[in-house]
Amino acid sequence: MSVDIKSAYLIPGNPLPLLQPEAAGLRPIVEGLQKARRSLEQAAPDTLIVYSAGWMAVVDQMWLTRPHMTGRFVDHTWHEFGHIDWELDVDVPVAETAIPSTQAFGVRSRGCDYDEFPIDAGTIVLSQTLNAEAAVPLVVTTNNLYHDWETTKRLGAAAIEAAAQHGRSVSVVGIGGLSGSIHRHGVDLDEDHIASPEEDQANRRLLDLITKTDTAALEQYVPEYATSARADMGMKHLAFVLGALGDTYSSAEVHGYGPLCGAGGAVVEFTR
C-alpha cells in the first residue's frame, strides 16, 4: 500500500534551544526549528512518524502506545536552566500495527503504555517545537543500541507501511545530533561554536551530501563520518528517515546548522 509522505526532517534532540532560546550561539538551531514548524503546519500530516536517538533500548524495539502523555522535564545536564512542560498524543492504532510487523525482519517489538513513562529529551524537543500544542499524533519508536544501519532503515519502512494500512498521511522526523564532542569546561552560549574545525568540516560535508540527494554517496560516507566526528549514535536517526523515504527524495534543505555546547546540530527538511 502507498502512503502520502508529506515531509521529513532531521532535528537535534538537545534541549538547549528550548531552555536558552535567546542565546546568540544557538540562534541557527532555534530559527531552523521555527522554519521546520511552519513547514510541518503547512504539510498538515495525519501522523508524525518519529525515531529518537535519545530514547535508547537494549532488548526489544519499543513503541509508545499510551494515547495521551504529559509531564515536566528537567534535563540532567542543564538542570540549572529550568524545566520544560510537555504533552503529546500517540497514534496508537498505527503503533500497534507496526509492533508485530517487525518480526518479519527478526526484530521483536512491544508497546509502552505506562503512566509517567520517562519520555526522552529529543521527543520532548519535537513536541514543543515542530509539534507544539500536540497538534499531530505521534508514532514514536526507540533507538535500539544493538540495531545496525540497515535494520534501522527497515524499521523506518515498517512504520510507513503501518501508517499506510490505516490510510494516514505522514511526516517523518529523525531526532538526533551531528558531531558529538561537547565543551567539557562549559561555554558562554552566546559564543558557542563547534568543538573543533575538523568536526565542523565533517558536519558540513555530510550536510552537503544530504542536499545533493545522492543517497549512495551519503551512505558510503556515513561510517567514516561517524568515526571522525563522533557522530550521535552513528547517525541512525538519518538511517530511519532514509528507510521511511525508501532511499529516495527529490530535494533537501538545511534550515539551520550550528553548535549545541560544542556538539553539532542541524535542522534539515527532505522533500519526497
pLDDT of residue 186: 78
Q: Measured between alpha carbons, how far is 236 from 242 in angstroms, rounded to an integer?
A: 10
C-alpha cell at 140: 514514536
The mean pLDDT of 150-169, rounded to a whole number, is 97
Q: What is the pLDDT of residues 21-67, one digit of tens each?
A: 999 999 999 999 999 999 999 999 999 999 999 999 999 999 999 99
Is residue 1's pLDDT more than 70?
no
Q: Measured between alpha carbons, how far is 30 from 223 in angstroms, rounded to an integer?
A: 28
Pairing of strands 263-271, 251-260: antiparallel
Please name which of 102, 135, 104, 123 lies closest in space to residue 51, comparing C-alpha atoms: 123
Q: Measured between alpha carbons, how far is 57 from 193 in angstroms, rounded to an integer?
A: 31
Q: What is the pLDDT of residues 67-102, one digit of tens each?
A: 999 989 787 887 888 888 889 999 999 999 999 999
Is residue 9's pLDDT more than 90?
yes
Q: What is the pLDDT of residues 125-150, one digit of tens each?
A: 999 999 987 789 999 999 999 999 99
pTM: 0.95
Please name which of 190, 220, 223 lies closest in space to residue 25, comparing C-alpha atoms: 190
Is residue 175's pLDDT more than 80?
yes
pLDDT of residue 116: 83
Cα distances (Å, whole numbers) of residue 181 to 10, 145, 150, 260, 266: 19, 19, 25, 10, 15
Q: Helices in 102-214 by DSSP H: which ranges?
A: 121-128, 149-165, 197-212
C-alpha cell at 268: 534539515
Q: Measured between alpha carbons, how far is 172 from 142 in angstroms, rounded to an integer?
A: 14
All domains in the chain, ordered by first residue: 5-271 (3.40.830.10)
10 Å Cβ neighbour count for 106?
8
Is residue 195's pLDDT more than 80?
yes
- 113 pLDDT band, cuts 50/70/90, is very high
Q: Tell me the average pLDDT of the chain.
A: 95
Q: Measured between alpha carbons, how far is 169 from 2 in angstroms, rounded to an integer?
A: 10
The mean pLDDT of 3-19, rounded to a whole number, is 95
Q: What is the pLDDT of residues 146-159, one digit of tens each?
A: 999 999 999 999 99
DSSP assigned state of 80: G
pLDDT of residue 117: 87
Please name which of 205, 194, 210, 186 lies closest in space to residue 264, comparing C-alpha atoms: 194
The mean pLDDT of 158-172, rounded to a whole number, is 97
pLDDT of residue 66: 96
